Structure 1
Amino acid sequence: MNPNRRLLPSLAALRALEALDRLGSASAVAEELSLTQSAVSRQLQALEAQMGVGLIQRDRKRLALTPSARDYLAEVRPALNRIAQASLSLQVKPAGGTLNLAILPAFGMRWLMPRLPDFARLHPDVTINMTTQLRPFSFAREPFDAALHFGKTDWPGTDALLLRGERVEAVGAPGMLPQGGLPQARDLLRRPLLHIQTRPDAWQDWFTAHGVTLQGPLPGTIHDQFSTIIQAALHGLGLALLPEYLAEQDLATGRLRRAHGGPIEARGAYYLVWPHEKARDPALTTFRHWLAGKAEPEDGLPR
């Protein structure tokens, strides 16, 4: 008998454990998995018995994962995701292969998506599955073949293709700014500023580029995506520092105004990155060669 066999728990039990962590109640788990609550409970009890470790905290009204179970699930969940993705790929079986791509939400929607119809026309046999990811991750632990990345080419274990640089400009709603913007860059410090989590030094760089020396950190609200920052700026909640490709439509229609000056070069650039071991994957190779033809830092953006 294989001594590791007892350490390979039932996939159904692992699905129940993962769903309980995500949904928070046995009734929600039962509904998602099309089981009864008693069946869910039996699966969880069987998993505890097999592992010899308490995984569930039980009281009269709810079930919750123990700290040990949460640590265990953090290791198991990427494997479950990979199994699900591999199963989907097996069912679809595209002739040209499948590319599982992690995208940045704003750049993926506004830069990549308008160009994808051309890829679909040229390579209809390649399937591209896309998932939003805001930060770098471990390719070994997540089911992605490649990712869109903003920053530097310092992602460990990967190769990279430069897609485009970035220029940013300070903008705000007309109610916050006079026509033509504020006369001095320092005047922006009298307005609330909107910050994005993934680029904590962006405003610092902007003020430095305009000759303003700052004392201490800049106040303001912090957001995780450009989409929320744009909405906050449009509603007059603060001044935003936006990439040109995100600001230009609202500037053209007058929904936003330039706060001061024009665009400046940002630190970092957009890249396609992929792990070394995926470099010869046929679907990735096809996509990478096509994307190289679109990687022009100053190309005109399709609308």
Structure 2
Amino acid sequence: MSRIPSTQALRALECFARHGTVWAAADELNLTRSAVSHQLRLLERDLGFTLFNRVGTRIELTPRGRAYAGDVRGALSAIAGSAARNAGHGLSGTLTISCTPGFAAFWLAPRIGAFRSICPDVDIRIVTPRRLDDVSNPAADLFIAFGSGKMQGVEVELLQQVEFAPLISPSLANRLGGLESAQDVLRADLLHLDDNTDWRRWLQAAGLPTEAAEKGPVFSDMNLVYAATIAGQGVSMGDVIIGNAAMEAGQLIRVGDVRIASPDAYYMCTPPQKADLAPALAFRQWIMAALPRRTR
């Protein structure tokens, strides 16, 4: 084809490729599902090759469709980076940060005013991905991701290692008559994020039966885990970095002295085409100074 497809159609494809469903793409783009489906059909027609396989009522990308979506993601990221560089004029413009939900809610959001006081002309936009290690959003200038550090297509720098420890609300601790030892956590429901792996590791480190990790509700989002913990619904295996604010406010207390080191960590990830953005550089310098000392 000779003409360039519409930007809206390309954004619909890139978003669908990241999320895998039309409804999730529609939610991010603030469009109806039918509008996203229409854009995808038009794009496939205009390109002249098959982007999708139809499997019942679902659609999925063909290998050629995945390759094209990857090229589109790179192009959209380059366009966004160019726009930010030309609109920034030093320490002004817009800085979009993709950040894990828990870190965004419990660490970054309460402190963002400190960065704003340093760079008052930089407009901050914080978005949260569906996966903690997702660094694929082309609209983001920086990513604060949680994972192994093996993120592809971005420059990766360690922000902070993580330790986990049991956290409980003072109200629940009082109802249970106090919690003085690691074994006391077994008197409450255990709250889980995604699965019981962290609790099993902690129970083993504490010399307690790992079968106890089988009980308690499971949540898909750390915000939900912390909300349930603060509401006194059980004991969570808390990230002590983002749990510090709640502990300092008296909303949560740590149980015992046993901690476990996470195999994953928080990383600052920067798309190469946006590495020289002045607002991004300023934010990196600020957050590196604001976080506790990094040890690896």
CA deviation after TM superposition for structure 1 residue 160, in Å: 0.8
Q: Cα–Cα, structure 1 residues 148 and 78, in superposed 2: closer, same or farther, change >3 Å?
A: farther
Aligned counterpart, 2:236: 240
Matches within 5 A, 1:273-292: 273-275=269-271, 278-292=274-288
Secondary structure (helix, strand or coil) at the match of 1:5 reads coil
Aligned counterpart, 1:61: none
Q: 1:95 aligned to 2:67? A: no
CA deviation after TM superposition for structure 1 residue 188, in Å: 3.4
Q: 1:264 aligned to 2:259? A: yes
Q: Which amino acid counterpart does residue 21 of structure 1 have in structure 2?
A: V
Is the deviation greater in 12-21 or in 219-228? 12-21
Tell me which structure has the larger Cα radius of gyration.
Answer: 1
What is the count of residue pairs matched by the alignment?
A: 275
Gaps of 5+ in 2: none
Q: Cα–Cα, structure 1 residues 13 and 224, in superposed 2: closer, same or farther, change >3 Å?
A: closer
Aligned counterpart, 1:159: 156
Report sequence identity in percent: 23
Secondary structure (helix, strand or coil) at the match of 2:189 reads coil
Gaps of 5+ in 1: 34-39, 58-63, 299-303
CA deviation after TM superposition for structure 1 residue 118, in Å: 2.8
Aligned counterpart, 2:22: 21
CA deviation after TM superposition for structure 1 residue 291, in Å: 2.3
Aligned counterpart, 1:203: 199
Over residues 245-289 of structure 1, what are the superposed CA-to-partner deviations in whole Å (9 max), with x where a residue is unaligned?
A: 536647865x6565x424635324433233456544433222222
Q: Which amino acid counterpart does residue 93 of structure 1 have in structure 2?
A: A
CA deviation after TM superposition for structure 1 residue 132, in Å: 0.7
Secondary structure (helix, strand or coil) at the match of 1:101 reads strand
Q: 1:121 aligned to 2:117? A: yes
RMSD of equivalent CA atoms:
4.7
Is the deviation greater in 168-177 or in 219-228? 168-177
CA distance in 1, matches of 2:293, 2:49: 57
Q: Which amino acid counterpart does residue 177 of structure 2 have in structure 1?
A: Q
Aligned counterpart, 1:36: none
Q: 1:168 aligned to 2:165? A: yes
CA deviation after TM superposition for structure 1 residue 56, in Å: 9.8
CA contact (8 A) 1:164 1:297 kept: no
Secondary structure (helix, strand or coil) at the match of 1:283 reads helix
Over residues 190-224 of structure 1, what are the superposed CA-to-partner deviations in whole Å (9 max), with x where a residue is unaligned?
A: 54321113x85321232233222535963433212
1:192 to 189, 193, 203: 189
Is the deviation greater in 42-51 or in 124-133? 42-51
CA distance in 1, matches of 2:39, 2:72: 23
CA deviation after TM superposition for structure 1 residue 167, in Å: 5.2
CA contact (8 A) 1:172 1:240 kept: no
CA contact (8 A) 2:158 2:265 kept: no
CA distance in 1, matches of 2:109, 2:49: 48
CA distance in 1, matches of 2:81, 2:272: 24
Is the deviation greater in 75-84 or in 166-175? 75-84
TM-score (norm 1): 0.65
Secondary structure (helix, strand or coil) at the match of 2:234 reads coil
Over residues 58-114 of structure 1, what are the superposed CA-to-partner deviations in whole Å (9 max), with x where a residue is unaligned?
A: xxxxxx664458994896499479749946984992322543321122222332233
